Amino acid sequence: MTIKKNAYVVLDTETSGFSKLVFDLGWITRDKKGNVIDSASYLMLDVIATERPYFMNKVKGYTSKARKKEKFKLTNFSVVRRLFNKHIESLLDANYRVILCAYNGRFDCDALAITTKRMTKEKTFLDHKVELMDIWGNWVNSSPKSYTAPLTASKKWYSSSAENVYRFEYQEPNFIEQHTALEDCKVETKILDKVLARKKKLRIVKSPRDFESFWSFNSKLEVCPWRKKFSAFC
């Protein structure tokens, strides 16, 4: 029996502030050794058109400094959904074990489900069953005791945002996230590198409903008291 190779598909979304519609989707697919198999970045014109006033300032940013770094492809959400599923199918056909990853994965999965229902006739975003991994939760569970970051608004927790985690892990205190989907994927892929390098047991689930929530984080924090300094909301 052939042993399947892991393909980690790191996905990120940028959404509207009102209806949680995805207007920017990016992904980077890599193997366990860090070799990039595929990457893509799409802006959804049909989504942008639905809430034009909200997106006007966002789009200006994409067409100026951000777009100099990325070659965004402009299309509609249904096309991107089809292309993403075609990519997943190609990985499965190549006998990869596909693990879909995101930082705060429940948010991205919810946003893609909402956008699929609103912008297409399909029932789900994914056509194939794949495994899911929250990079954020797995990083918290494997994070060094030396971790420090700015406190959240409550002053009770260290922020574990991707930006602050990246600053700590790569000793870049002035690093600022670009907050375009593909640029965020690059950051999250680097954090995934650290998680995999620590060789801790990974929490991989079958459904977004199984992603760890704030409360399940808290139950773990009681077992590992030093981790009480983490917030699951920032």
Length of the chain: 234
Buried b (16+ CB within 10 A) or exposed e, 97-116: bbbbbbbbbbbbbebbbbbb
Min mean pLDDT across 2-11, 57-66, 220-229 is at: 220-229
pLDDT in tens, 31-84: 989 999 999 999 998 988 886 655 656 666 665 544 555 567 889 999 999 999
Q: What is the mean pLDDT of residues 121-146?
A: 92
AA letter at 168: F
111 CB-near residues (< 8 Å, 6+ apart): 13, 15, 20, 21, 22
Q: Encode pLDDT of 184-206 as tens digits.
A: 999 999 999 999 999 999 999 98
pLDDT of 12 above 80: yes
Domain boundaries, the chain: 5-137+179-208
Q: How confident is the model at residue 159 (pLDDT cuts 50, 70, 90)?
A: confident
* Predicted confidence (pLDDT) at residue 218 exceeds the cutoff of 70: no
What's the confidence (pLDDT) of residue 10? Answer: 98
Q: Going edge to edge, which strands form the sheet with 204-205?
A: 73-75, 36-44, 22-31, 5-15, 96-102, 131-134, 204-205
Neighbours of 229 (CB within 10 A): 18
Quickly tell me which residue has 């870049």 as its tokens.
Answer: 172
* pLDDT higher than threshold 60 for residue 215: no
Identify the sign of the CA torsion 158, 164, 169, 170.
negative
Distances in Å between the alpha carbon of 234 and those of 6, 88, 164?
A: 29, 30, 10
pLDDT of the residue at 61: 61
Which pLDDT tens digit goes with each residue over 174-187? Answer: 999 888 899 999 99
Its pTM stands at: 0.85
CATH architecture of the domain covering 5-137+179-208: 2-Layer Sandwich (3.30)
Q: Mean per-residue pLDDT for 90-110?
A: 94
Q: Given this model, what pLDDT does residue 220 score?
A: 40
